[in-house]
A and B are shown apart, each in its own frame.
With several copies, the nearest count.
Chain A
Amino acid sequence: MSATRSSASAKYRELGLTDHEYELIVDHLGREPNDVELAMLSLMWSEHCAYKHSKRLLRRLPTEGPHVLMGPGENAGAVDVGDGLAIAFKVESHNHPSAVEPFQGAATGVGGILRDVFAIGARPIAVLDSLRFGEPEASERSRYLLSQAVAGIGHYGNSIGVPTVGGEIYFEQSYEQNCLVNAMCLGLAPRARLIRAAAAGPGNVVVLLGALTGRDGIGGASVLASAELGEGDEAKRPSVQIGDPFSEKKLLECCLELLDRGLLTSLQDLGAAGLTSAVSEMASKGEVGIDIDLCRIPLREPGMEPFEIMVSESQERMLCVVAPECVGALLDVCERWEVLATPIGSVTTGDRLRVLQRGAAVADLPVKILVDDCPLYDLEPEPPEQPLYRPPTAVLNGTESAERVLLTLLRSANIASRRPVFEQYDPVVQSRTVRRPDEADAAVLALPGGAAIAVSIDGNGRRVACDPRRGAAEAVYECAANLACVGAEPLGLTNCLNFGNPEKPHVAWQLTEAVTGLAEACEQLGVPVVGGNVSLYNEAPTGPIFPTPVVGIVGRLPDAARAGRLAFGQEGDAIALVGPFDPSSAGSELAKLQGRAAAGKLPPIDPDAVAQAHRDVRDGVRSGALRSAHDIAEGGIAVALAECCIAGSIGATVTLPDGIDPFAEALGQGFIVSGPAEALAEMTVIGRVGGSALTIEDQLALAVSELRDARELGLSKLV
């Protein structure tokens, strides 16, 4: 390495670039990058933006489908839901910011995913959240993270008028040091309003919309600050991003009006890597160049350096491309919505991203080097010899009665009622919500014209830790099963891959196996992947998090009025068990409560039989033959039955088929349904609805009120 290069080495290494990557940059550029360029490149070549360790793997996921309008590569995916309407959706992680400042981290996570959705022209109509924390009883920190993250999600979603309609929470030791905060958003748009991020038309104007640019989330790049930060330089330190849902609400309404008036050529949110990422993505997709004039960018703080402006992650900002003749009309709309709009540059012929300051270029890079040239790495997977995760503390010793076990399961943090959480979210704003949390396995949102969409988000890390391939597949099947329970057919899937350090062979193995499992399950159910997100390096000195692929599926049902419920509804109804349900204790909640480590193969899955069961339940709900449908998940058949009883405030008496352990698990493969006896004639009837107690013959009998008390108690003290 040349002398100059080694002098630069300190910097680029601190910025996370390897020597090899820096060599590549210098070779492509034919010179050393200056500091502004280095800041931009280091972020664009980060795992977060470049998917260095996951991109190749992601190619295994099926992305084609009859309903797909937009697939991976856009800010959000989109599927056709008929009547000229599209549903856009995506899930994204905000794990690290939430670990630093849970309230603001979770809030800005919601703000970010909302922007991804309205960036393609869809009005956000629903949010779901997927959360992971350490054991809440054991850890005060976990309780703090939980209550703050939940408050932050509610704060942003409630304030901006988008209902939070669902989600999931698990507590496991492995998340103690690395909590997960994933947020999913759905948007509704007339197909004609969908817009892509590709910039076009040399001479067109690039306009920055929304908040002032401050030193928010500058993170690692701050090592480039020209002056050493000393006392009193507080302001120069990278700062925590604060969510401002009020500003985003105005920005959202403004952008949708701009699109309705046909004023925009393209639109892009500002997320990770701020302007740098937004501008280079737009230029790259449109195969054009862009000039940015730094001096025009409205700043929140004095004395910001060029690199700070280019990588600032200040929230509530969007970037759009507008034809010159439309700029006047655009500024009028923005003024009406009190949204700051500033022309900051223009689309150019050629292929360069140039950042100008008083005429001089402070950065001048080929767009390609920012977006395409980052090297992709192959993983070196190796299954671990010995278990990666230490066993949890036992709270049951295996000698307890089935009654005691069921009550303990219902009270346990992973199974107890989520009411203390979802009561902090507004699930009804926008007047579309047909099924709220706890009413059904999936949220149901009415579409104009009588049909509806359903959505669920799922992913059980402990089961993936046991068996990454089947565990990931189970996440897809469970999510689809939740849709079947309301009568919905899956249209498209999004996912967020939360894993440890992919450079470690056993994490690489978890990741590879899990993506393979996801791909297989998607193929088998015929559900295309339309988007997602990857969050790696969720790892502490004590080890990686449970491998946690989180899956969100959007489906459609023809008649909103027939959306399914999980509650037993009618004295005397028959109860049937549907599906190839062959559970085992591996990775089950009971195994956890008994102190058993996350290990052991999960039961094999019979794809055709499972798909058939999903169809049967879906059809039964759609036809109205079934009065209730609920998939069997954590806690096995006993917990599923208890949940149906509690929701309906009515008892049931059942006899389990031979050999089925009431607490054994297999996710997404079995259902508890109820309805008039004649409607269930073809099914495996296992009992009847009625009375005020749940009785499982030869196992247990408990009053529904006692079951409810246990389930309600669980989280109430912890949130």
Chain B
Amino acid sequence: MRARVLVRPKQGILDPQGQAVQRALPALGFTGVDNVHIGRMIELDVEDPSQLPEMCERLLANPLIEDYEIVESIAEPAHS
């Protein structure tokens, strides 16, 4: 099964990347954008999806500073 893990900075944790992008956007003529946060996306084929939560805790995310969200069975592998 193809799964996707979304990792984002925990609420309350400084997100310098998100800040920088948010500050840049108006200059490019994109207005009305707010609350920008930048995280990671991991996509993988996994035989046993029940392993995913532990995988996130131990490797894919850093639970101290990041939250994660598991999206099971997404479409097609994006990559062969």
Are A and B in contact, CB atoms below 8 Å, in the complex? yes
Point out residues on A near B: beta carbons under 8 Å. 100-101, 104, 211, 214-216, 234-237, 239-242, 244, 246-247, 300-302, 314-315, 338
Chain A neighbourhood of B64, CB < 8 A:
100-101, 240
27 A-B pairs with CB atoms under 8 Å apart are A101-B64, A104-B65, A211-B14, A214-B14, A215-B12, A216-B14, A234-B11, A234-B12, A235-B11, A235-B12, A236-B12, A237-B12, A239-B10, A239-B13, A239-B65, A240-B64, A241-B14, A242-B9, A242-B13, A242-B14, A244-B14, A244-B16, A300-B14, A301-B80, A302-B80, A315-B14, A338-B23
Select which of B13, B15, B80 is within 8 A of A240 by beta carbon: B13
Chain B neighbourhood of A302, CB < 8 A:
80
B20 at the interface (CB under 8 A from A): yes
Chain B neighbourhood of A247, CB < 8 A:
16
Measured between alpha carbons, how far is A235 from B64 in the docked complex, in Å?
13
In whole Å, how far is B64's beta carbon from the nearest beta carbon of chain A?
5
Determine chain B's interface SS by DSSP, over half rule: loop
**Do the beta carbons of A301 and B12 come within 8 Å of each other?**
yes
Closest to B9 in A: A242
**Do the beta carbons of B12 and A242 come within 8 Å of each other?**
no
Point out residues on B near A: beta carbons under 8 Å. 9-16, 20, 23, 62, 64-65, 80
Measured between alpha carbons, how far is A211 from B16 in the docked complex, in Å?
10
In whole Å, how far is B27's beta carbon from the nearest beta carbon of chain A?
9
Chain A neighbourhood of B16, CB < 8 A:
242, 244, 246-247
With A235-B11, A301-B80, A302-B80 known, 19 other A-B pairs at CB within 8 A are A101-B62, A101-B64, A101-B65, A211-B14, A214-B14, A235-B12, A235-B80, A236-B12, A237-B12, A239-B65, A240-B64, A242-B13, A242-B14, A242-B15, A242-B65, A246-B16, A247-B16, A314-B14, A338-B23
In whole Å, how far is A96's beta carbon from the nearest beta carbon of chain B?
14
Chain B neighbourhood of A237, CB < 8 A:
12
In whole Å, how far is B29's beta carbon from the nearest beta carbon of chain A?
13
Measured between alpha carbons, how far is A101 from B12 in the docked complex, in Å?
16
**Do the beta carbons of A234 and B10 come within 8 Å of each other?**
yes
Closest to B20 in A: A246
> Using a Cβ cutoff of 8 Å, how many contacts connect chains A and B?
44
Measured between alpha carbons, how far is A338 from B9 in the docked complex, in Å?
24
In whole Å, how far is A103's beta carbon from the nearest beta carbon of chain B?
9
**Do the beta carbons of B65 and A240 come within 8 Å of each other?**
yes
Closest to B14 in A: A242
Chain A neighbourhood of B11, CB < 8 A:
234-235
Measured between alpha carbons, how far is A242 from B66 in the docked complex, in Å?
12
In whole Å, how far is A373's beta carbon from the nearest beta carbon of chain B?
34
Closest to B15 in A: A242
In whole Å, how far is B34's beta carbon from the nearest beta carbon of chain A?
14
Chain B neighbourhood of A242, CB < 8 A:
9, 13-16, 65
In whole Å, how far is A159's beta carbon from the nearest beta carbon of chain B?
10
Given known contacts A235-B80, A246-B20, A302-B80, A214 and B65 CB-to-CB distance under 8 angstroms: no
Measured between alpha carbons, how far is A265 from B34 in the docked complex, in Å?
37
Chain A neighbourhood of B10, CB < 8 A:
234, 239
In whole Å, how far is A115's beta carbon from the nearest beta carbon of chain B?
16
- A-B pairs, top 5 by smallest CB distance, nearest first, are A235-B12, A244-B16, A242-B14, A235-B11, A239-B13
Measured between alpha carbons, how far is A302 from B15 in the docked complex, in Å?
16
**Do the beta carbons of B12 and A214 come within 8 Å of each other?**
yes
Measured between alpha carbons, how far is A310 from B13 in the docked complex, in Å?
18
Chain A neighbourhood of B62, CB < 8 A:
101
Measured between alpha carbons, how far is A314 from B23 in the docked complex, in Å?
20
Closest to B23 in A: A338
In whole Å, how far is A717's beta carbon from the nearest beta carbon of chain B?
14
In whole Å, how far is B37's beta carbon from the nearest beta carbon of chain A?
13
Measured between alpha carbons, how far is A100 from B15 in the docked complex, in Å?
19
Chain A neighbourhood of B15, CB < 8 A:
242
Measured between alpha carbons, how far is A302 from B11 in the docked complex, in Å?
12
Measured between alpha carbons, how far is A211 from B15 in the docked complex, in Å?
12
In whole Å, how far is A234's beta carbon from the nearest beta carbon of chain B?
5
In whole Å, how far is A528's beta carbon from the nearest beta carbon of chain B?
39
Given known contacts A104-B65, A246-B20, A239 and B80 CB-to-CB distance under 8 angstroms: no
Chain B neighbourhood of A104, CB < 8 A:
65
